[in-house]
Amino acid sequence: MKRKYMKALSVLAALSLTISLTACGGKNSDNSASSGNSGAANDGTKKIQIKVYAQHFDEDTARPFDYAVEELKKEMPNVEIVLDEAVQDGYQKLKTYAATGNMPDIYETDWTTLQTFAKSKNVELLDSYPDTADFKSKLNTGLESRLTAPDGHVYAFPYTGIEFQLIYYNKDIFQKAGIQTPIKTVDQLADAAKKLSAAGYTPMAIFAKEKWITTAFYAGLVTRKDAKGFGDLEAGKPAALPTAFVTAAEQMKKLQEAGLFDANATNTNYDQASSQFYSGKAAMFINGQWEIYSSTEKLGDKVDWMYTPAKDEATYDSSKGFINGAGSPGGFSVSPSSKNKETAVKVASFLAQKYSEYKYTVLGSPIVSVKVDKPMTGEVPPMMKRIADEVLPNVKSYATAVNNVQIKNVIDDNTQNMMVSGFTVKQFADNVNRILAKENK
């Protein structure tokens, strides 16, 4: 991070951050507790092994985690971290761990999974731990929803603030294909998809094997018209999809029919999709703002990001400040079956704080959960500077999250189906409306 951005990002951090698996697991068993004792600390005491299931595959995940672990060695030399690298499978492996009573001491997950784990007793309630009170005291303003769930409980220690999705594009490919930027409307994006296909490129790489990314793309279209996003499907208790959601489904299908997504999208994982983008075979890529570091490393100054297009240019201009990210609980959680639960809680809180510290000081991300009092030292990628200079100061609102798991699941399932030729907007609406009528009655 260049120092000239330090002050600005410090302020922005404060502002922006003011931005069925039931009853299968959760039982204590000899197989479920993964921690134990091994080796010895410098003072001769036994080391406590804590198994952590966490993402550890790129600049935005591996380096912060490794930093946090190194810091932990100084703070708690009697603890040894055993990393279990998370698979990008929508937490299916983690759910299998829960179903088989084989939970790691600490695991990283999202709000949807935490709700099912709360029912199956696979997540420790952190409400009354002193480490939770300490974490709350350090939380950045406006991030209460990232720590405390709508039911009033604390299930995880978050390390990020409110994250959101971006559309990344290869500027060189766009220039070769004669595509003007910025793309402001859905029609312009559909036209660009046709030009890119004709030029031999995959217009947009998407790892639609994971349902959350198709939901994220759909959320981007929804928030061009409805700033509150999916939260309105719960808070407003509609028995059928509101107009903004139907329009977004129509736009998503229009883009699919224009060839924006690869025909094999639903069988494509993150590694395959990102490889298409990094190798220059795909012109665009959809992912969270955390993708900035990997895309910059692979593509340098060829890559930039764009806002999600809208129905017309006037709507595009007026909706750029509607962020398609929502603050919901998530981060490092603790298994109730851990043999070293008290230690695991302390470690989970510490890892989340140090993870934030690295992301802020070295990666230059202002989107972190806790206050960081150390200076920025790393080089910030231009795309992150755009977020700091252009997006965060102009945020009008963040989307709200839908907490109803049934509603969330039906959206996930059917946005993924929208990637498939022949699946219609009517089928999408009928499937979602059936659940809305049931859950909102």
What separation in angstroms does the CA of 78 have from each of 14, 44, 66, 440? Answer: 35, 9, 17, 50
- Tokens describing residue 12: 């922005």
CB contact at 8 A, 308 and 317: no
* Structural domains of the chain in order of their starting residue, each with its CATH number: 48-161+328-372 (3.40.190.10), 165-324+400-440 (3.40.190.10)
pLDDT in the model for residue 22: 28
Q: What are the pLDDT digits (tens) for 118-135?
A: 999 999 999 999 999 999
The model's pTM: 0.81
pLDDT in the model for residue 58: 78
- Segments of 232-374 assigned E as strands: 282-288, 303-306, 322-326, 331-334
Tell me which residues of the chain have a pLDDT lower than 70: 1-45
pLDDT in the model for residue 37: 55
pLDDT in the model for residue 379: 87
